[in-house]
Structure 1
Amino acid sequence: MDLQLLVALLGGVATVILIILLTRLDAFPALLLGAIVTGVIAGVAPLELVDMMTAGFGNTLASIGIVIGLGVSLGKLLEVTGGADALARSFIKLFGKGRERVAMTATGAVVSIPVFCDSGYVMLHPLARSLARKAQQPVVGLSLALAGGLVLSHTLVPPTPGPLAVAGLLGVDLGVMFLVGIPFILVLIPVVLTYARIMGKRLEPFRDHTMFADEEAEADTRPVISAGRAAIPLLVPILLIIGNTVTKALIPDSPVQAIAGFLGAPAIALLIGLIIGAYLLPQRRTDRKTVVGWLGQAAASGGLIIFITGAGGAFANVLTQSGVGKNLADGVGMLPLPLFLIPFVIASVLRIAQGSGTVAMITAATLAVPLVQDGGLNPVLAAMAAACGAFVLSQFNDSFFWVVTKFAGLSGVNAMKAWSGMTTTIWAATIPLLFILWAIVG
């Protein structure tokens, strides 16, 4: 193992972490500076290093930038038009009395496929409070069930930005990513429900009952559209993407696959979903200016994720072209450990250090690119490992920690027990699932 290249890798990773934690800069310039440090220490000529970075940035965004922008825009439409709220209410009716926690977890898991989990939680928490009052259930338990469902889909399946970016960096088909992520979610839902049930009973006496006293009335009066109408712009692109994946496997090089391949290309599928959503979700009297304004807000919120993903691509290309990645793959390949533990551990460490699960999984996927290319690591397994590592220990440096715990009326140690404990339990439960996936795909 070349010592200079090892130092280059460690220097680049340390640069990313220290910049995010100790400076006024965010993950976008941090990843670019990490790429520069890695290239310089590895001995790459300055102009060649710039070419590596710009090529990596451009190639990554060429494959995934459009998809992230469209996915965020579709999620915004579902959020502001009441579509996500309509889906939530339909799930509550579907599961019925006595299964309130199941209803809230399932609601969170579905709503968070297109909607950021922070927005989904703020939007749906009044509904959880109203349901808790009617069913005489602990609000903390239902809040945790909702938040757990939201974070599962937000972390594991596209078109949420983190999984989209990870899939793009590692070259994973989005349909495959979705089809692998859904079984993970189904297995993890009982983990969420069990933890929510136990902690709901234990922590309810410590909740601040004076917070958000009027939310129940708001939950009962909020206007919504029908769940069927809300589901159409979400289901159409998902089915098109999966259809492309299935036909590619069963009937490749056929006329049907050619059509399915075009319509199921993620950019085309999500564009179709967005067009449907723009005309189907808003009320009839909604003017063009309002809808365009919503899409503008989505572009603003999704822009940073696109930039971070591109910077991750720049870093990954420097790792690959400079030989640092191959050096890492050769060294790790000599260890008696499965390669997928590398992105899993990296994502876990970064999640604890800087708080953002999205940044953690994108960075871990970036460092896993050379392992996939040179070390024999399956890209699907690498993507899932990077995503699963990003679950661990949501705490004070994570914005979603504050959203969940403040709306649940918890603080201090009880907030850590509620949400940090929940995410760490989910993280631990993914480890055997990753080993099972490793045994299947190698």
Structure 2
Amino acid sequence: MYQVVLLILSVVLLLVLISKLRLHAFLALLLVSLLLGIAAGMPLTEVATQVAAGFGGTMQNIGIVIICGVIIGQILENTGGAQKIAASILKLVGMKKATLATAISGGVVSIPTFCDAGFVILNPVIRALSRSGNIPYMCLVTALMTGLLTTHSLVPPTPGPIAAAGILGADVGIVMIYGLIISIPVIGGTYLWCNSKFLKKKYPELAPIDAVNEEQNEKFKEIVAHAPSTFMSYMPIVVPIILIVIRSFVMQYAQKGPFWYDLVVFIGTPYIALLIGAFAAFLLPTKITEDVSDGWISKAISGAAEILLITGIAGCFGRILQTIGVGTIMADAIAGLSLPSIVLPFAISAIVLIAQGSATVALTTTAAIILPLLGSLNISPELAVIAIAGGSFCGVFPQGSYFWCVTKLAGYDIKKGYVAVTATTFIMGAIAFVSILILSFIVH
């Protein structure tokens, strides 16, 4: 029981350090991991060894994957490929369902791209769409916010679900499939809110026009004018997903031995598949200059550094929890609660999100907490990742950077921000919970 008290105290301390004292998540997780090991009575040398092993083991699983994913997103952003994807979806769905097209566009673009960056990229698109289609801007803002955040949290290779999968030892291909399945009801269900009469009547205003917006529109038009084809824009996203998913099916249903088996397993290994996707992304620029091959990649790697460090250090926290035996002690307690297995990972993730604001931190921290409890939950690592991911967007408040990214770019005050972001993410979370609960009855 002493270990359970230490777990609760360590989580409380972690949230206080991050949300109240504003200590960076990397230092907070490292400090709490060390203190947890010492408080549990582990020898000091063993604490140091286990923390280092936790960091190295986690980075081994997901380090290259995250970097390659960020590179793909950076190239899509710089070449206009992301805008081309959005335009193709709008053309397919039609102007009459522009709000739905916006949500789907956000969902596709955010698979390799950070949701914050995705909103920056596509905001000029929805501004122009609002004015040309006479559509309330609030409807498009909430739809874009929803699509971006949904796949950012649920579908690899974005850093959060990849990190959680690495910590829990989940099959990335299966996580992708589950994530895509859950994304459909989350985006579709929340679309009803985004396109509701309530929002249209309460916030009927079209996107405003000012000098800053006009300048953004001109830059947007210039990027799109030199954008790659729609087919080529999809390639860096679709190819890795196909390779990873095929690998998962082959490993599950085919017999080992033939050369083709080894080849499929090799190229479908997540970091190999993402590396292939990254090189496919190099086909998007009209010319490969030093700025493309070095400058863009350096920017992407710099952007990935923080996520990599937080993910690795969350692995340290999980390693210490495993070492002190929290999972064994909590197994009987969880079994006696008679709750659906997904409740605990979903709820912890939502609490961590609300406390500190970052979906990625919520995913990695919760995965570390759930790791020693996974056996007692009686669910697969893949389903645990999806449950954590669903909770990681349930309630985005002003302490989260995404709240301010959406609010400021939309030109909203904090009251409108609560409607566009906070209220919408609670709706997303509720739909995700029900959808994941239903999925858990099918796949376990």
Fold shared, TM-score > 0.5 on shorter chain: yes
Q: C-alpha offsets along residues 27-82 of structure 1, whole Å, 9 cap, x if unaligned?
A: 11111122122212221111111111111111111111111111111111111111
Residue 276 of structure 1 corresponds to which residue in structure 2? Answer: 280
Contact in 1 for aligned 2:137/2:204 (Cα 8 Å): no
Q: Report the equivalent of 1:103.
A: 101
| Counterpart among 357, 362, 387 of residue 355 in structure 1 | 357
Distance 1:406 1:208, change over 3 A: farther
Q: Which residue of 2 aligns with 1:439?
A: 441
Residue by residue, what CA displacement relative to the aligned partner does 1:67-104 show, whole Å, maximum 9, x if unpaired?
A: 11111111111111111111111111111221111211
Report what 1:260 is aligned to: 264
1:331-370 equivalences in 2 (<5 Å)? 331-370=333-372
Show CA shifts across 1:168-212 (max 9, x none): 111111110111111111111222211111254144347883555
**CA shift in 2, pair 1:41/1:332, >3 Å:** farther
Structure 2 CA distance for partners of 1:86 and 1:360, relative to 1, 3 Å: same
Output the CA distance in 2 between the equivalents of 1:71 and 1:352. 26
- Length-normalised TM-score, structure 2: 0.94
Name the stretch that deviates more: 206-215 or 317-326: 206-215
* Aligned residue in 2 for 1:428: 430
CA distance in 2, matches of 1:74, 1:12: 36
Is 1:300–2:302 an aligned residue pair? Answer: yes
**AA partner of residue 230 (structure 2):** A
Q: Cα 1:126–1:200, aligned 2, differ >3 Å: closer, same or farther?
A: farther
Aligned-pair distance for 1:213?
Answer: 4.0
1:227 alignment counterpart: 230
In the other structure, the counterpart of 1:246 is: 249
Separation of aligned partners in 2, 1:208 and 1:143: 10
Structure 1 residues 226-268: Cα deviation after superposition (integer angstroms, max 9, x where no partner): 1111111222111111110111122131423211100100111
Unmatched runs of 5 consecutive residues or more in structure 1: none
Find 1:377's aligned residue among 355, 376, 379.
379
Out of 329, 332, 348, the residue aligned to residue 330 of structure 1 is 332
How many residues are matched? 438
Retained in 2: the 8 A contact 1:126–1:218?
A: no
1:429 positional shift: 0.9
Q: Is the 2:112–2:237 Cα contact (8 Å) retained in structure 1? A: yes
Alpha-carbon distance between aligned partners in 2 of 1:380 and 1:163, rounded to the nearest angstrom: 10
Kept in 1: contact 2:131–2:206 (CA 8 A): no
Moved more, 337-346 or 47-56: 337-346
Q: For the residues of structure 2 that align with 1:409 and 1:194, how far apart are their CA atoms?
A: 23
In structure 2, relative to structure 1, the CA distance for the partners of 1:208 and 1:132 (3 Å cut) is closer
Matched AA of 1:301:
G
Provide the rounded CA distance (Å) in 1 between the counterparts of 2:304 and 2:291.
20
* Alpha-carbon distance in 2 for matches of 1:162, 1:179: 16
SS of residue matched to 2:195: helix
Task: Show the counterpart of 2:130.
Answer: 132
Q: Check whether the contact 1:69–1:302 (CA below 8 A) recurs between aligned residues.
A: yes
Deviation at 1:124, TM superposition (A): 0.7
Contact 1:154 1:162 in 2 (8 A): yes
Q: Secondary structure at the match of 2:96?
A: coil
Specify which of 17, 20, 30 is matched with residue 19 of structure 1. 17
Of 348-357 and 34-43, more deviation after overlay is shown by: 34-43
Question: Does the 8 Å CA contact 2:141/2:420 hold for their aligned counterparts?
Answer: no
User: Is the CA contact (8 Å cut-off) linking 1:128 and 1:142 kept in structure 2?
Assistant: yes
Q: Residues of 2 paired with 1:129 and 1:203: CA distance? A: 18
Post-superposition Cα deviations, 1:108-145, rounded to whole Å, max 9, x if no partner, equal 11000011111111111111111111111111111211
Residues 208 and 409, structure 1, Cα contact 8 Å, conserved in 2: no
Aligned to 1:389: 391
Aligned counterpart for 2:143 among listed residues 135, 145, 153: 145
> In 2 relative to 1, CA 339–38 (structure 1 residues): closer, same or farther, beyond 3 Å?
farther
The match for 1:209 is: 208
Please, which runs of 5 or more residues in structure 2 have no aligned partner?
none
Deviation of 1:382 after TM superposition, in Å, equals 1.1
Q: Please name the residue that 2:318 is paired with.
A: 316
Amino acid at match of 2:255: P
Q: How does 1:53-68 map to 2 (within 5 A)?
A: 53-68=51-66
With structure 1 as the length reference, what TM-score do the two structures score?
0.95
Partner of residue 83, structure 1: 81
Superposed CA deviations along residues 333-387 of structure 1, whole A, max 9, x for unmatched, are 2222233211111111111111111101111111110111455332122111111
The question of whether the paired residues in 2 share the 8 Å contact of 1:312 and 1:362 is answered with yes
Give yes or no for the alignment of 1:30 onto 2:28.
yes
The one-letter amino acid of 2:109's match is V
Is the 1:333–1:339 contact (alpha carbons within 8 Å) kept by the matching residues of 2? no
CA distance in 2, matches of 1:349, 1:102: 29
Q: One-letter code of the match for 1:178?
A: M
Report SS of the residue matched to 1:25: coil
Separation in structure 2 between the aligned mates of residue 69 and residue 392 of structure 1, nearest angstrom:
26
Provide the alpha-carbon RMSD of the alignment: 1.8
SS in 2 for 1:392: coil
- Indicate how the Cα distance of structure 1 residues 403 and 101 shifts in structure 2: closer, same or farther if over 3 A, else same: same
Question: What percentage of aligned pairs have identical amino acids?
Answer: 36
> Which amino acid is the alignment partner of residue 51 of structure 2?
M
Residue 412 of structure 1, CA deviation: 2.6
CA contact (8 A) 2:111 2:152 kept: yes
**Contact map agreement 2:407 2:413 (CA 8 A) in 1:** yes
